[in-house]
Chains A and B, each alone.
Chain A
Amino acid sequence: MATPSRTVSKSVLAPPAPPTQRRPYTSSVAPTRSYFNTSIGTKVLIGATGLLLFGYLILHLLGNLLVFLGPETFNSYSHLLIKNPLIVPVEIGLGAIFLVHIYKAVTNFIANRRARPVRYHRTAWTGRPSRKSLASSTMIFSGIIILVFVLIHLVQFKYGPEYVVAQGSSEAGVRDLYRLELEVFGNILNVVFYAFCMLVVGSHLWHGIASAFDSLGADHPRFTPLLLRVAKVVAAVIALGFMAIPFWVFFFARQGAVS
């Protein structure tokens, strides 16, 4: 192995510059920030909105799984949802939660990057008891992917083709989302894209669920270790649950519909 050079660069040998201005050991009172702009308030908001979105995800998964019960059940469920007068305020609320989560997470990410202007030459993961994982290191990226996915998902389904099918007592018929789903997931590219995005959602939840509780200050010697484990199981179940639908449609339901 070649011995590295012993020479020291010129800048190191330069005559010593005037000593760095030392900052005072005591300070005047730091400016007060509004609660939601403090480091703690920011994380409380991110955690609280994250948990609400997690709750929404559970409801959305439960609703979606009705697709396995056939077109009638699924379409009447979606009809009940779409025609509910509460759906608009709920959607506005959900959108607001999304926006707060995104806005606070992005500004928080930028502030955190600025807290270390010079990066390390060499970095290492510490291992236990650290919880650092691939998921926890990529929250901002998984978040961006989820945002893009949600927009595409809305265009494909909520604002997608309005098929109508005569069903039940409704005279005008109901929106045939079952048919739309068969169509979308008849395309292997959509199946792959959705499967990938659900893995990303799972990754976001892998770190997000338990950390959201911590960000709210919820910590307990017995329940937190349990939560850390359960949260990962729940993250995996949600990701696999959502993922099951496109695969099921592509490999099973479509054939049934065609024949």
Chain B
Amino acid sequence: MVFDDRPNRTMTLHLLVWRQPNGQTHGKMVPYTAEGISPDMSFLEMLDVVNEGLIRKGEEPIAFDSDCREGICGSCALVVNGRAHGPDGGTTVCQLHMRRFQNGDTIAIEPWRARAFPVIKDLVVDRSAFDRIIAAGGYTSISVGGAPDANTTLIPKDTVEAAMDAAACIACGACVAQCKNASAALFTGAKISQLALLPQGAAERRRRALRMVRQMDAEGFGSCSWEGQCEAVCPKGIKITNIAKMVREYNRAATTGETS
């Protein structure tokens, strides 16, 4: 590793941040200057520095969500320069680092924007719509027993991999944020697909598809236009083939007289 001993290699960035005191008030983009930013900082650490400056001046710090800061929890949710989770694919915004930007860049930071994700404050949105979609059917309610011995339930390798790929969803909501229709099809499709692929989930696949899609529509998400912007920003690279799978699952349930 090369030790960088250049002194004071810090950046100054011009931020445009969405400020909105609460869900009842209109918000707007407010300019800030972030000074003394190390290129090694993560994007959220940069916001922490800006917030410390705001607190010192007696101003309201910028509210944003974060938890694990290692790209696995799905809490952080920022649209950076029009892209959910920032310019890099396959990561959450907490894994975005300031070296990705140039000194003097202007960076627009916005919350997920969707009717189903109302702003709570600034960059924090209420993603409980996802919880309600899961609560509508994203589980198995039958007894599937304890952890089985290896190879007692035979599942083809490809099927397991497809189910695991869908299960990688961390429910961050970037798919909704990037979709021009604010559609939750990728999120809902991933869960429906994952559970339908495995024998433990397949038993309730039809009822699940009906219920989860019904809840998804009731939350006010849009429909899928097959542009695949969701897949491009998904930190877990979940594929839109899961949406096609959801369509098949839903159609099968809807045409076989299944009641939810």
Interface residues of A (CB under 8 A from B): 1, 3-6, 8-9, 11-14, 16-27, 29-33, 35, 38-44, 108, 111-112, 114-132, 136-137, 139, 207, 210-211, 214-219, 221, 224
Contact = CB atoms under 8 A, between A and B. Distances in A.
A70 to B, nearest CB: 42
A115 B114 contact: yes
A3 B57 CA distance: 18
Given A127-B232, A128-B232, A130-B228, A219 B254 contact: no
A27 B118 contact: no
B254 to A, nearest CB: 5
Interface string B132-147: 1001100000000000
Given A39-B223, A43-B223, A27 B228 contact: no
B247 A44 contact: yes
A215 B108 contact: no
B135 A116 contact: no
B181 interface: yes
Given A8-B19, A19-B22, A13 B59 contact: yes
A12 to B, nearest CB: 5
A111 B225 CA distance: 13
Contacts of A217: 244-245, 247-248, 251
Contact of A136 (B33, B113, B225): B225
A137 B247 contact: no
Across the A-B interface, the 3 shortest Cβ-Cβ residue pairs: A219-B244, A124-B82, A30-B218
B244 A11 contact: no
A122 B81 contact: yes
- Secondary structure of the A contact surface, majority rule: loop
A210 B244 CA distance: 12
A215 B226 contact: yes
Given A17-B21, A129-B231, A217-B247, A111 B223 contact: yes
Which one of A17, A18, A116, A122 has the greatest number of beta carbons of chain B within 10 Å? A116
Contacts of B113: 116, 118-120
Interface residues of B, number: 81
Interface in B54-90: 54, 57, 59-60, 79, 81-83, 89
Contacts of B40: none
Given A5-B31, A20-B121, A120 B82 contact: yes
B246 A22 contact: no
A20 B244 contact: no
Contacts of A6: 32-33, 57
B217 A39 contact: yes
B83 A30 contact: no
Interface in B240-259: 240-241, 243-248, 250-251, 254
Contacts of A9: 19, 28, 30
Contacts of A44: 247, 251
Given A25-B132, A130-B228, 19 more contacts: A4-B32, A11-B19, A17-B22, A23-B126, A30-B214, A40-B250, A43-B223, A112-B223, A121-B29, A126-B233, A130-B232, A132-B227, A132-B228, A214-B244, A214-B247, A215-B226, A217-B244, A217-B247, A217-B251
B120 A35 contact: no
A12 B108 contact: no
In the complex, which of the residues B132, B227, B250 has the most CB atoms of chain A within 10 Å of its own CB atom?
Answer: B227
Contacts of B219: 30
Given A16-B22, A25-B132, A120-B113, A30 B217 contact: yes
A51 B203 CA distance: 33
A249 to B, nearest CB: 37
Nearest to A38: B217
A120 to B, nearest CB: 6
Contacts of B104: 1
Given A22-B128, A115-B181, A215-B226, A122 B108 contact: yes
Q: Which of B23, B104, B129, B226 has the most chain A CB atoms inside 10 A of its CB?
A: B226
Contacts of B115: 114-117
B207 interface: no
B103 to A, nearest CB: 11
A139 B110 contact: no
Given A20-B120, A126-B83, A121 B18 contact: yes
Given A33-B217, A131-B228, A20 B223 contact: no
A210 B213 CA distance: 23
Interface in B89-125: 89, 104, 108, 110, 113-116, 118, 120-121
A115 B222 contact: yes
B59 A8 contact: yes
B247 A25 contact: no
A99 to B, nearest CB: 19
